[in-house]
Amino acid sequence: MHLLFSLSLLLALLHVTSCLLIGAFNIKQFGDKKSSNTSLIDVISTYKYIVSEPLGRSTYQEQYLFLYTEQTVSVVKNFTYDDKMDAFSREPFVVILTSTECLTYPKALNWSLVSFLSCSPAVKDFVLIPQHTSPDSAVKEVNSLFDVVTDVRARWNTNNILLMGDFNAGCSYVSGADWQQIRLFTDKSFHWLIKDDVDTTDCGHS
């Protein structure tokens, strides 16, 4: 268990109340102290999981980890994005899932946990694309997620795609003027679930 989580930086958690809930968390390091917390491990061990290979350009690497409840979703396919242009410090690990629950896209939310609360049979299969950007290249990496979406659309013929992150798209990393260089922002076919005025940053500790 320790080896599995030791490099994991992003956690995508799926579970159900009356409908499907999806959240993304940057858990930083998962080392000896956290892995020895039996209460935490007892909770984690109740979920199924899929995890990426270690990703990164140097000896410092991270992993993407998805936890999910087998009763409500299952993994159909996955792949690591082929980053031919070397746009990402850590390539996105893309997963397509199928759900036995209903899933619809809500209006913009005013909190950082992305949740799907409205029930409808509109969406069954959907794609999750997590990305933890490097703060120094956040503008380039967030913009390049447009290319990942294009790849997924061609590969799996779907528009049911959710981008999740720690995008580092705030503080001094992405300024107001920078957004005009980011296709996810300028292309109005993309729907941002978290409103622009919501502070999801920790700039005081950056």
176, 141 contact by CB (below 8 A) = no
Place of tokens 């980890």: 65
Answer whether 49's CB lies under 8 Å from 9's CB: no
- Point out the catalytic residue in the list 62, 91, 101, 141: 62
- Other Cβ atoms closer than 10 A to 198: 12
For residue 11, the cross-strand partners are 25, 65
**Does residue 62 carry a catalytic annotation?**
yes
132 is catalytic: yes
The CA distances from residue 145 to 32, 89, 101, in Å, are 33, 12, 27
From the candidates 70, 91, 101, 132, give the one annotated as an active-site residue.
132
Cite the active site residues: 62, 132
